[in-house]
Amino acid sequence: MRGMSRSDMYDAPGLFAEPDDLKPLAERMRPRTLDEIVGQQRVLAPGKALRRALEAGRVHSMILWGPPGCGKTTLALLVARYADADFRAISAVLSGLPEVRKALAEAEANFAQGRRTVLFVDEVHRFNKAQQDAFLPHIERGVIIFVGATTENPSFELNSALLSRCRVHVLEAVTPDDVVVALRRALEDNERGLGTLQLDVSDDSLRLIAQAADGDVRRGLTLLEIASELAEDHRIDEATLTQVLADRTRRFDKGGEQFYDQISALHKSVRSSDPDAAVYWLTRMLDGGVDPLYLARRMTRMAVEDVGLAEPRAWRMALDAWDTYERLGSPEGELGLAQLAIWLAIAPKSNAAYMAYNQARAVVRETGTLEVPMHLRNAPTKLMKGLGYGKGYQYDHDAEGGIALDQQCLPDALEGMTFYEPVERGLELKLREKLLSLREARQQARKK
């Protein structure tokens, strides 16, 4: 098999292969069999379809979708190993169409000699449509077993023609418990791991490293390797971990699916009146580097769309929090955003105004340019008055109770139609009582 390490897999096979003792721990400990893979039991547990296919050597073209460090590259290597096929890898970040054509030409030469080639394309979502299309005829003819790896949703990032020729396998972030298994294996392995160092590491320390890995096995092994280099007297203690884990960050992609999933979670937590979840997702996004002003704008939308007239102060508070952040900046201004998220979640909710607007907009599209009733038209000239503009208009302040109840304000074709239906929550409960009373009074007045 060609190109086993991630560091040299994008170069000519074996050209710059590194001695094992120069490779990082994460590379040395890369699983060599399916049993060595930690996590991914949903797709690789004994008896699962993908595992059965690999063990039988009946491999298929596939897309591996999952977060960093979950085993996509390792699985691609094992596909080639179990299929007894040559392995060729290219990166969509580093390669263009010439590199793609070169890889396909090598696969064609292999195919002519009766050898199969697993072509692994890392970050495949970064290829454009033309580059993705280049693989299609070779997949169809069986020249290559295509394995694409992506951290982004294939439905959005890959074209339908490529998706139709591949099976999508969803890989998950590895749990801390599974990362601990990988760390222990590295500590005990004398050949590839750190076994010869006889390191003293407590269970709690391993757990801290696993949690800091944030679902990324490669990251966990890298942290362990750094800790082993800093350890005094072969002991990885709290002081060592303080240095190693001081600047750890969480997984986040400001332009990818995680971004959209988390802003959706924030919005829906506010809508579900869960302040704890709302402040959690807000903090997660701030921690991931999202522009706080974007979050201020989105929460202003929540105030208008989901809180609405059940608590009109929400709108003003959202604008004040926005202004507070612009004045204070980070980190003080973020507290204003956190307070807003909590308050919006606790506030009574109503989307009645939002629904009224959407319904009115739909009616406007359907009914076209309906005429304004004559009595509501402005009559600034004598001619317009002579044509009846404004005739019959009732000045509400002069009417009994301050409302001309029998005055029609909608176009004739929409007379009697209602758009706004207040909910029985918050201030809208009182608005509802007032509106129902008004509508009943108008009906009575029109009957007279």
First-to-last alpha carbon distance for the chain, in angstroms, is 92
Is residue 145 included in any domain, yes or no? yes
Contact by Cβ (8 Å): 421, 357: no
Parallel, antiparallel, or unpaired for β 144-150 and 117-122?
Answer: parallel
* The residue to which tokens 């690999």 are assigned: 54
Query: Do residues 340 and 414 both lie within one domain?
Result: no
**Cα(422)–Cα(435) distance, rounded to whole angstroms?**
8
Whether residues 24 and 159 fall in one domain: yes
Q: Which of 110, 140, 170 is the last residue of a domain?
A: 170
25 and 46, same domain (yes or no)? yes
Same domain, 190 and 98: no
Tell whether 139 is covered by a domain.
Answer: yes
Q: Are residues 29 and 129 in the same domain?
A: yes
pLDDT at residue 333, rounded to an integer:
92
Question: Quick one: 338 and 399 in the same domain?
Answer: no
| pLDDT tens, the chain, 448 aa long | 443 334 444 343 433 345 566 789 999 999 999 999 998 998 999 999 999 999 988 889 999 998 888 889 999 999 999 988 999 999 988 888 888 889 999 999 999 999 999 999 999 988 888 888 889 999 999 999 999 999 888 888 888 899 999 999 999 888 999 999 999 999 999 999 999 999 999 999 999 999 888 888 999 999 999 999 888 888 998 888 888 887 555 555 555 567 788 899 999 999 999 999 999 999 998 888 888 999 999 999 999 999 999 999 999 999 999 999 999 988 889 999 999 999 999 999 999 999 999 999 999 999 888 898 998 898 888 888 888 888 988 888 988 888 888 888 889 889 888 898 888 989 888 888 888 888 888 888 877 7
In the chain, how many domains are there?
Answer: 4
Range of the domain at 212: 176-244
Please indicate, yes or no, whether residues 210 and 287 belong to a single structural domain of this protein: no
Model-wide pTM > 0.75? no
Asked if 114 and 141 sit in the same domain, the reply is yes
The string of pLDDT tens digits covering residues 32-91 is 999 999 989 989 999 999 999 999 888 899 999 988 888 899 999 999 999 889 999 999
Q: Is residue 47 part of a domain?
A: yes
Q: Is residue 55 part of a domain?
A: yes
Same domain, 39 and 115: yes
